[in-house]
Amino acid sequence: MDFGLNEEQKLVQATVRQMAQEQVRPKAAATDKNHAIPPETLPQLAELGLWGSYIPEEDGGSGLDYLSYILSVEALSAACASTGVLLAAHASLGCDPIHRSGTKEQKAKWLAPLCKGEKIGCFLLTEPGAGSDVASLKTRYLEQDDHYELTGSKQFITNGGYLGTGVVFATSDPSLGHKGISAFILDLKSPGVTLLKNEEKMGIRGSFTSAFALDQVKIPKDQLLGAPHQGFAIAMETLDGGRISISAQALGIAQEALDLALNYSTERQQFGKPIGQFQAIRFKLADMAAALESARLMTYKAAWLKNQHQESAQVSAMAKLLASKAAQFCTDEALQIHGGYGYSAEYPLERLYRDAKITEIYEGTSEIQRIVIAKGLEKG
Amino acid sequence: MKILVCIKQVADLESRFQVASGQTWFNETDLAFRLNEYDEFAVEAAVQLKEQTGGDLTVISVGPARASEALKKALAMGADQAVHVLEDQQLESFQTAQVIFEQIKAQGYDLIFTGMQSSDKGSGQVGLLLGEMLKINSVSCVVAFKYDGRIEVERELEGGLRAKLKLATPALVTCQLGLNQPRYPTLPNIMKAKKKPKSEVTSPAPASRLQVVALGPPPKAGAAELIEGDLLAQVSKVVAILKEHKLA
Ligand SMILES: Cc1cc2nc3c(=O)[nH]c(=O)nc-3n(C[C@H](O)[C@H](O)[C@H](O)COP(=O)(O)OP(=O)(O)OC[C@H]3O[C@@H](n4cnc5c(N)ncnc54)[C@H](O)[C@@H]3O)c2cc1C
């Protein structure tokens, strides 16, 4: 057993951290305030090769090992959680299913531009009536001679507003439940795709969360991803990986909160001494560090498993459950340690607190993670 | 053009340094290490020169096993190959220069870049000593660098002055902060650096000419007290303090 990072992983971590601290963090407050990631951030991620993440070089990617990718999302999220999920959703939800289930031709046509950041990736599963229960989705597809025709709607799509490349899920017959679902590669600029709105949200405000109407969208036959009716399996496998990236986002937020709290507790003086000398504060810091570190170990283990193609739905679910809880807990305690200043928008704590919450909701709520974990127990 | 960069891995300056009593170096356990900041400018200058003239860029470091991370970074930034002289002892400048000299004296490098100093020891001598040992031109503290057959550099002087110099190759240049904008190694290049040639060698260091006697923080200076209040209050406070210390 080896808990250390190798040289490449350390170097990736240090590099992304440095870039994120120098170029992303200074803009995090404005990103939140303006509900938009500054446009210049996208080419900066491209320059570093972040968009290509763990996709192998022969498919146009950056060839990172999976843990290095997870370290990148963590470092980016510590600087700005909106920017963190921009990468996480692009790579884990947009690129991953095409990489895993795409043909050689599909990879050349769709994956390579995604890896360069020429297109931003997204994943269109959720619908107004189908959230946790994705098998109940209602978007229909009809098979025509040379294309499929999709009609329905999609809700809460991260990165949707970039109108790049998505993986969209639809059913041939809702009565078939999860067995009727197929996955398709979708160019979001196709006729019939209408961006209805970008959601106003509590946190990760810089990240697009978009609603779409799909009206007889023509998708060429060669954009079917995997086999017909394999969509549900593709979605679930994708989310097993995606959850690790959301865990990494949560770790980044939690680490930032802990760092800020630690710093503040040595600077802020009350009753004649730094508040960090009060045991009540020290215990908070200790609990935060312990929660964060255990979530980190779980997340890195999930990443390590995925790297050797032994991904486990249960381990990913445990990682996300723990990491999102750690993010929620650490931002709450860090805000408390900052007192009134934590509540003030002058300080970053209230933003981190708002950003943390989403990690307990998307890519499966914490309740759903527990369902996945419990199911694994039954298998024995 | 044959180019060499000499680099060192140092403890991150944000570390909390602890020196056990009687020791002459800080405890390295749990510290984070990085490529010496000055050396990042040296690597960048070397990579830019290589991009301009073509040629071959070697990076060398003398240090313990962990220093391999710094070499990896230089490879990821664009060096072609790395030489790691494994050395667990803390060498003094002359020893380090001598060890590098022994490795490279037969290589005929046209240009050698080093950082102006290392951020942990700050002696600023290794580059210049190496230049002397090789009997080539050396110039230190460089803040601008150009090459067009000859080298043209600017050196930063006290009082806000800059000196412009020209010199012929072979030459050695020590790089000051701000010489350029060191690039981030790209992620694909980090992964590719794994495949670049990296040799590990050992080379006995000559005896040290210096003896480090002690290492520790400077003695704490007396605390300053800020005297506040209106003029009368301030004056009375000063008088009281002078009286207390029997100075008035
Ligand atoms: C900012 C944001 C970004 C998102 N990005 C994407 C994206 O890119 N692509 C995409 O497809 N979707 C995305 N989503 C959708 C997200 O994954 C869903 O919101 C989430 O899965 C929950 O679905 P829901 O909102 O419909 O809640 P519901 O499923 O209606 O759940 C409501 C509550 O009931 C609980 N619940 C539901 N079923 C059970 C059960 N069986 N047992 C116990 N409790 C249960 C839930 O845990 C929750 O507390 C995003 C959502 C948000 C808010």
pLDDT value of residue B15: 82
Is the pLDDT assigned to residue B221 strictly greater than 80? Answer: no
Q: What residues in A contact B69, CB-CB < 8 Å?
A: 7, 10-11
In this prediction the ipTM stands at 0.91
Which of B34, B191, B194 is best to mutate for the A interface (most A CBs within 10 A)? B191
* Distance to chain A for B72, nearest Cα, Å: 8
The candidate with the shortest Cα–Cα distance to A364, out of A247, A235, A243, is A243
Distance from CA of B69 to the nearest CA of A (A): 6
**Which residues lie below 8 Å from residue A332, measured CB to CB, with a gap of 6+?**
A353
**Rounded (10°) angle between helices A66-79 and A7-19:** 20
SS3 of residue A308 by DSSP? coil
CA distance A222 to A103: 9
Q: Which helix (H) or strand (E) holds A253?
A: helix A231-267
Looking at the CA of residue A133, tell me the nearest atom of ligand 1. Answer: 29
Q: Tens of pLDDT along A308-331?
A: 999 899 999 999 999 999 999 999
Among the partner residues B72, B187, B194, nearest to A62 by beta-carbon distance: B187
pLDDT digits over A21-32, tens only?
Answer: 999 999 999 999
pLDDT, one tens digit per residue, over A282-308 is 999 999 999 999 999 999 999 999 999
CA A366 to ligand 1: nearest atom: 47
d(CA A262, nearest CA chain B) in Å: 15
pLDDT greater than 80 at residue B222: no
What is the pLDDT, as a whole number, of residue A380? 58
In chain B, the residue whose alpha carbon lies closest to the alpha carbon of A14 is: B34
Q: What is the pLDDT of residue A327?
A: 98
Percentage with pLDDT > 90 across chain A = 98
Residue B228, pLDDT above cutoff 90: no
Q: Mean per-residue pLDDT for B121-136?
A: 96
User: Read out DSSP for A53-101?
Assistant: TTS-GGGTS----HHHHHHHHHHHHHH-HHHHHHHHIIIIIIIHHHHHH
- pLDDT band of residue B247 (cuts 50, 70, 90) is confident
DSSP state for residue B143 in the 8-state scheme: E
Number of helical (H) and strand (E) elements in chain A, helices listed first? 14, 10
Show residues of chain B in contact with A16, CB under 8 Å. 187
Identify the closest residue of chain B to A20 by CA–CA distance: B184
Quick one: closest CA in A to B74, which residue?
A: A11
Q: Which chain A residues are Cβ-neighbours of B184 within 8 angstroms?
A: 15, 18-19, 47-48
Q: How far is the CA of A157 from the centre of ligand 1 (A)?
A: 12
Domains in chain A: ranges and CATH: 7-120 (1.10.540.10), 122-231 (2.40.110.10), 235-379 (1.20.140.10)
The rounded mean pLDDT for chain B is 94
Is A18's Cβ below 8 Å from some Cβ in B? yes
Q: Is A363 an annotated catalytic residue?
A: yes
Which among A10, A50, A51, A59 is the top mutation candidate for probing chain B, defined by the most B β-carbons within 10 Å of its own β-carbon? A10
Specify the long-range contacts of residues A340-348, CB closer than 8 Å, at least 24 apart. A341/A264, A348/A28, A348/A29, A348/A256, A348/A260
- Residues on chain A touching B185 (C-beta within 8 angstroms): 11, 15
Among A38, A98, A87, A51, which residue's Cα sits nearest to residue A249?
Answer: A87
pLDDT of residue A282: 98
Lowest-confidence region among A28-42, A234-248, B197-211, B221-235: B221-235
Q: Rounded to the nearest whole angstrom, what is the distance from the C-alpha of residue B98 to the centroid of ligand 1?
A: 65
**Which amino acid appears at position A147 of this protein?**
H
Nearest C-alpha of chain B: how many angstroms from A57? 8
User: Is residue A156 lining ligand 1, measured as CB closer than 6 Å?
Assistant: yes
pLDDT at A121: 98
| pLDDT for residue B76 | 98
Best mutation target, A11, A16, A23, to test chain B (most B CBs within 10 A): A11
pLDDT in tens, A84-107: 999 999 999 999 999 999 999 999
Model confidence pLDDT, tens digit, residues B41-81: 999 999 999 999 999 999 999 999 999 999 999 999 999 99
Interface of A with B in 336-365 (CB under 8 A): none
The domains of chain B, with CATH numbers, are 2-201 (3.40.50.620)
Question: What is the C-alpha separation between A351 and B95, in angstroms, rounded?
Answer: 52
With a cut of 70, say whether residue B210 has pLDDT above it: yes
Q: What is the mean pLDDT of residues B157-186?
A: 95
Residue in chain A nearest B66 by alpha carbon: A7
Give A106-160 pLDDT, tens digit per residue.
Answer: 999 999 999 999 999 999 999 999 999 999 999 999 999 999 999 999 999 999 9
Angle at alpha carbon of residue A269, lines to A263 and A273, rounded to 5°: 105
Distance between Cα A239 and ligand 1 center (Å): 13
pLDDT value for A293: 98
Q: Please, which pLDDT band fits residue B220 given cuts at 50, 70 and 90?
A: confident
Instruction: Estimate to the nearest angstrom the gap between the alpha carbon of A71 and the chain centroid.
Output: 13
Q: At what angle do helices A66-79 and A231-267 cross, to 10 degrees?
A: 50
What is the mean predicted confidence (pLDDT) over B204-229?
86
SS3 B215: coil
Query: Which DSSP state fits A127?
Result: B
Residue A48 touches partner B, C-beta closer than 8 Å: yes
> Quick one: pLDDT at residue A252?
98
Q: Which of A143, A199, A363, A367 is catalytic?
A: A363
Number of H helices, E strands in chain B: 6, 11
Inter-chain CB proximity B187 and A15 less than 8 Å: yes
Using the predicted structure, report yes or no on whether residue A35 has a pLDDT greater than 70.
yes
For residue A364, the ligand 1 atom closest to its alpha carbon is 21
Each residue of A338-377: pLDDT tens digit? 999 999 999 999 999 999 999 999 999 999 999 999 999 9
Query: What is the reported pLDDT for B244?
Result: 87
The CA radius of gyration of chain B, in Å to the nearest whole number, is 23
